[in-house]
Structure 1
Amino acid sequence: MGRSVRLFDRKKSRFKQQPKVLILCEDSKSGKRYLEDAAFHFRANAKVEVAHCGVTHPSGIVERAIARQKAFDKVFCALDRDTHHCFNRAIDLAKPHPKIKVIASFPCFEFWLLLHFGYNRKPFAAAGGKSPGELVAKSLRSQLLMEGYEKGENVSHFDLLKGVPFNTARTLSPRVLTDAANSGEPNPSTEIHLLMNEFEALSVPQSI
């Protein structure tokens, strides 16, 4: 007797298809490279596209997210507050779109890197002709391993800081964000840890 053709039927997957995620950021090198490497670390890279969208101001990034959202299940916009005049407009633009979530850093992404070295809630204000973001980068360069940090470098800072420093940042960032909410002063704080949580969640198969 021949075997039933049912034996050769392809088995249905027991897991949900992972969402397709887009991340847009204004930094075309160091920040973008960090997020790409973090996604790879969590084995989420196959479902995550980190793209610099050709504009370096918050509202332009959100506008690009709105234009591209149909092709994705989730869209994250990693935005720096710094001295951008259109930051609040960018937040408002994103609100009507459930797929789009702003991941804000005050004053900039480099504050997330700085949290790899310890708790910090000292505000960064423009001084000496330097923007708040530039002063965060200056503070970051005072830390071990980060002496040569430049925002525009295509260097894998994730690989440099993973392990204990990375876990330190993931622990401290929610505490900083809670303190910022309680005090009403977001400078400095960041939501980058929420992206790390998303990467980690994407690495875990979800049963149907």
Structure 2
Amino acid sequence: MARSIRLFDRKAPRFKPQPKVLILCEDSKSGKRYLEEAAFHFRANAQVEIAHCGVTHPSGIVEKAIIRQKRFDKVFCVLDRDTHLCFERAINLARPHLKINVIASYPCFEFWLLLHFGFNRKPFRAVGKHSPGHLVARSLREKPNMDKYEKGENNNYFAQLLGEPFQRARALAPKIIEDVAVSGEPNPSTEIHLLMDEFETLSKPQAI
């Protein structure tokens, strides 16, 4: 009888439970769609909620993250530096909260897309009425098959740039961050590659 009972004993779990991850973005269309497609590509979408929280300024996004963090193991705030006056405040708001990670782009998310086409460390400065973010988008539209890019459009640029361009961006972004640490100049740079790394990690069971 004892032997029969042992046959039904539960085995100890081999893997950690998948963490629940929240990603809040300021962009409700193109950037959000890109991240959704990336999460799906890495098969991490079951554990990841990607949302536009109704505000488009950095400090407001972090404030929403602070409110929602209790339901998640990790929270990422995808922020554009651009000309936001509250950017530094957002960084300071996030700092005491261990669950909250800021993914910053200088000046904007579109610089990550621009890296799919090659290395770039020339700063983007406001010119007249054109913000740094506007100038990045304009540079992006000069690249092959990107001439119709608009931040507010819901196009699948992840699928379009997947393959060698995507791997190029993943290789270049951390090298630029290393240069930022040496030079002290973050414009231009992006940390979006850290989210790609997170998606890839979430696709693999983590041993206990």
TM-score by length of 2: 0.96
- List aligned pairs for 1:147-186, cutoff 5 A: 147-186=147-186
The answer to whether the aligner puts 1:101 opposite 2:82 as a matched pair is: no
Name the CA distance, whole Å, in 2 between partners of 1:176 and 1:82. 18
| Partner residue in 2 for 1:38 | 38
Cα displacement string for residues 157-198 of structure 1 (whole angstroms, at most 9, x for unaligned residues): 100000000000000001111112211111000000011111
After TM superposition, give the deviation of residue 145 of structure 1 in Å.
Answer: 1.6
Name the CA distance, whole Å, in 2 between partners of 1:56 and 1:67. 16
Cα displacement string for residues 95-129 of structure 1 (whole angstroms, at most 9, x for unaligned residues): 00000010000000000000000000000011131
Name the CA distance, whole Å, in 2 between partners of 1:187 and 1:107. 6
Secondary structure of the corresponding residue to residue 13 of structure 2: coil
Secondary structure of the corresponding residue to residue 77 of structure 1: strand
After TM superposition, give the deviation of residue 13 of structure 1 in Å.
Answer: 3.2
The answer to whether the aligner puts 1:188 opposite 2:199 as a matched pair is: no
Name the CA distance, whole Å, in 1 between partners of 2:159 and 2:199. 16
Secondary structure of the corresponding residue to residue 91 of structure 1: helix
Higher mean Cα deviation, 52-61 or 6-15?
6-15
Amino acid of the structure 2 residue aligned with 1:111: F
Amino acid of the structure 1 residue aligned with 2:31: G
Secondary structure of the corresponding residue to residue 135 of structure 1: helix
Amino acid of the structure 2 residue aligned with 1:148: K
After TM superposition, give the deviation of residue 14 of structure 1 in Å.
Answer: 1.6
| Partner residue in 1 for 2:17 | 17
What is the number of residues matched between the two proteins?
A: 208
CA RMSD across the alignment:
1.4
TM-score by length of 1: 0.96
Cα displacement string for residues 69-103 of structure 1 (whole angstroms, at most 9, x for unaligned residues): 00000000000000000000000000000000100
Amino acid of the structure 2 residue aligned with 1:45: N
Name the CA distance, whole Å, in 1 between partners of 2:12 and 2:45. 24
Gaps of 5+ in 2: none
Cα displacement string for residues 47-69 of structure 1 (whole angstroms, at most 9, x for unaligned residues): 01110000000000000000000
Amino acid of the structure 2 residue aligned with 1:158: F
Amino acid of the structure 1 residue aligned with 2:103: I
The answer to whether the aligner puts 1:126 opposite 2:126 as a matched pair is: yes
Gaps of 5+ in 1: none
Name the CA distance, whole Å, in 2 between partners of 1:112 and 1:24. 17
Secondary structure of the corresponding residue to residue 127 of structure 2: coil
Higher mean Cα deviation, 141-150 or 7-16?
7-16
Amino acid of the structure 1 residue aligned with 2:122: K
Secondary structure of the corresponding residue to residue 61 of structure 1: helix
Name the CA distance, whole Å, in 2 between partners of 1:39 and 1:184. 31
Moved over 4 A (4+): 8-12
The answer to whether the aligner puts 1:58 opposite 2:58 as a matched pair is: yes
Name the CA distance, whole Å, in 1 between partners of 2:147 and 2:54. 28
| Partner residue in 1 for 2:117 | 117
Secondary structure of the corresponding residue to residue 180 of structure 1: helix
After TM superposition, give the deviation of residue 12 of structure 1 in Å.
Answer: 4.4
